[in-house]
Amino acid sequence: MKKVIIGMGTCGMSAGAQQVYDRMQEILSENPGTFALSRTGCIGMCYREPLLEVREGDRRTIYGQVTPETAAGIFDSHVVKGKVFDGNVVYSLDGKGGDGGTEADFLRQQKRIVLRNCGTIDPESIDEYEAAGGYRALEKALRGMTPEKIVEEVKASGLRGRGGAGFPTGLKWSFAASYKADRKYVVCNADEGDPGAFMDRSVLESDPHAVLEGMIICGKAIGSDFGYIYCRAEYPMAIRRLNIAIEAARGKGYLGKDILGTGFNFDIKIKQGAGAFVCGEETALFASIEGQRGMPRIRPPFPAEKGLWQKPTNNNNVETYANVPWIISNGAAAFAAFGTEKSRGTKVFALAGKVVHGGLAEVPMGTTIHDLVFNIGGGIKAGRKFKAVQMGGPSGGCIPVELDNTPVDFESIPATGAIMGSGGMVVLDDTACMVEMARFFLDFTQSESCGKCTFCRIGTLRMLEILARIVGGEGESGDIEKLQELGRQIKEASLCGLGQTAPNPVLSTIRFYRNEYEAHIAEKRCPSSACSALVDFKINPEKCTGCTICAKNCPVNAISGKPKQTHVIDNSVCVKCGKCITSCNFDAVYKS
């Protein structure tokens, strides 16, 4: 029997996957027994959602941008007649190793370890996870490996923390294992607060058992019997599917008492966070779990010695734990075969911004920025020029097009002034103002500061005030130097990673785009024509037809002119909302 599978991650649902699923349910009720209907998570092609797959044994055909109407057409053509429905095939596998479809290159160039099950199994079915090899690594770890052997295997793999810092995972586990205590904790940081990042959310929605399995193996390795998943409440689908997975794992004996009859006990609880960015810092996260205000603690002591409730604690993020079952099943050497000498394995990236193929991609460490943006990401939207990528979220930095051959790894990216972060990559085109970009991210980190450190609380505010003046056309000589000095002091004196990295977007844009800062300050001009205070809206008389549409859409009546005659914008009245540009059908309105 053919199987019809609908992609129902957050990206799919927001694009209309529920309506497609409902339509296929109606068709199934009218034609019982003709196919089996199921769901899956995100395969990474968010830009082509909703996705519908028809599976016949090893043969897979994935259709993109499916509507309820095209779903009916796919049923009539593919399910009933066995003929591929024309026009919507984005990916296909013939069951013999061959592939095709308009988006085949997007998946063909990836190496999927963390995303191995995403978009292929039903995340709410533990049976499908088991059929894909799930929980075999746990059985191997519990029945055939000592805690020391597990730690050594993770060390040998070269896996480094995927939450941003890149600390060696096996070494971190060994620290927690070395301390003696009546209780230890395994914590999964699923707080993912970077703008433009959605890797962890997608894994939790699409393959929650992989994260659970990784945490249980960690529990065995360090001598813990309890774990917490700290997931922000803004991820309701992830939380729902995690709860389903936890109950199913308990029901099959993978969680709870005497797991697989080995005498090992381990259980997991979900803690919902309220969305504080600072709680991505592990000690602030621990405070939040304990019911306290999420504020970082002074280290040492480090969490491996005194973490959650002052007990030895190991904390990794979602992606890190999801790698562990694959490493245990396939061996450390297989994982270490990918990547670079000091950055082993693969990394999941969320491609967002002005890139054609917005979505998720998993590639070997060391893949260049250019390959990610152009070979997998499909290049820049509307054929515009590639300008930069913002990596590492608000704590990261901007890497210019001149450095797009930089390998994405834990050594090369920091050398540019950015950081790897959790894997968010916001692609910018030539319409982006780098000064405004720095202001945007600093505004985020300043508002998310917990306020404990004076340098972070007040220093970022002073920097934000200077940036606001610059983009507002009131920049002064010496402002760039003030930003650099404040940034240096904040990085050196802040207690936690939020403050230590908050100046990065500003410092990196000054480093590579100082000319834009100087133009804003000295010339009162935004080279990208993005800062409204520094641009005027004008109408090209050679293109204006006098259709009056722009005047009708102007909310402040700043546009005048008679029908069929050239119109004029009064910039003393104009509020620069941009409606004239978006409403003009002749590309006559421009900024200068």
Residue 471 has pLDDT above 90, yes or no: yes
CATH for the stretch 434-522: 1.20.1440.230
CATH for the stretch 127-335: 3.40.50.11540
Residue 589 has pLDDT above 90, yes or no: yes
The predicted pLDDT at position 307 comes to 97
Q: Which CATH class is domain 536-591?
A: alpha beta
Average pLDDT of span 139-159: 98
Whether 457 contacts 440, CB under 8 Å: no
Residue 12 has pLDDT above 90, yes or no: yes
Residue 164 has pLDDT above 90, yes or no: no
For domain 2-103, give the CATH superfamily.
Answer: Glutaredoxin (3.40.30.10)
Long-range contacts, 116-119 (Cβ 8 Å, 24+): 116/207, 116/210, 116/326, 117/206, 117/207, 117/210, 118/41, 118/42, 118/43, 118/44, 118/202, 118/203, 118/206, 118/207, 118/360, 119/7, 119/40, 119/41, 119/42, 119/43, 119/44, 119/51, 119/206
The predicted pLDDT at position 193 comes to 84
Residue 450 and residue 453: Cα distance in Å, rounded? 8
Residue 213 and residue 151: Cα distance in Å, rounded? 15
pLDDT band at 87 (very low <50, low <70, confident <90, very high): confident
All CATH 3.40.50.11540 domain ranges of the chain, comma separated, are 127-335
The predicted pLDDT at position 163 comes to 86
The predicted pLDDT at position 592 comes to 83
Residue 552 and residue 485: Cα distance in Å, rounded? 48
Residue 394 has pLDDT above 90, yes or no: no
All CATH 3.10.20.600 domain ranges of the chain, comma separated, are 346-429
Q: Give the C-alpha distances (Å, rounded to integers) separating 531 from 204, 277, 380, 437, 528.
A: 38, 27, 22, 10, 8
Residue 396 has pLDDT above 90, yes or no: no
Residue 120 and residue 117: Cα distance in Å, rounded? 5
Q: Which of 425, 431, 436, 434 is nearest to 469 (CA)?
A: 436
| pTM for this prediction | 0.93
pLDDT tens-digit profile of 366-387? 999 999 999 999 999 999 999 9
All CATH 3.30.70.20 domain ranges of the chain, comma separated, are 536-591
All CATH 1.20.1440.230 domain ranges of the chain, comma separated, are 434-522
The predicted pLDDT at position 588 comes to 95
Please give the CATH topology (third level) of the domain spanning 346-429. Ubiquitin-like (UB roll) (3.10.20)
pLDDT tens-digit profile of 426-468? 999 999 999 999 999 999 999 999 999 899 999 999 999 999 9
The predicted pLDDT at position 349 comes to 95
Average pLDDT of the residues of the chain: 95
All CATH 3.40.30.10 domain ranges of the chain, comma separated, are 2-103
pLDDT tens-digit profile of 496-538? 988 999 999 999 999 999 999 999 999 999 999 899 889 999 9
Q: Give the C-alpha distances (Å, rounded to integers) separating 216 from 63, 134, 221, 306, 476.
A: 36, 13, 9, 20, 56
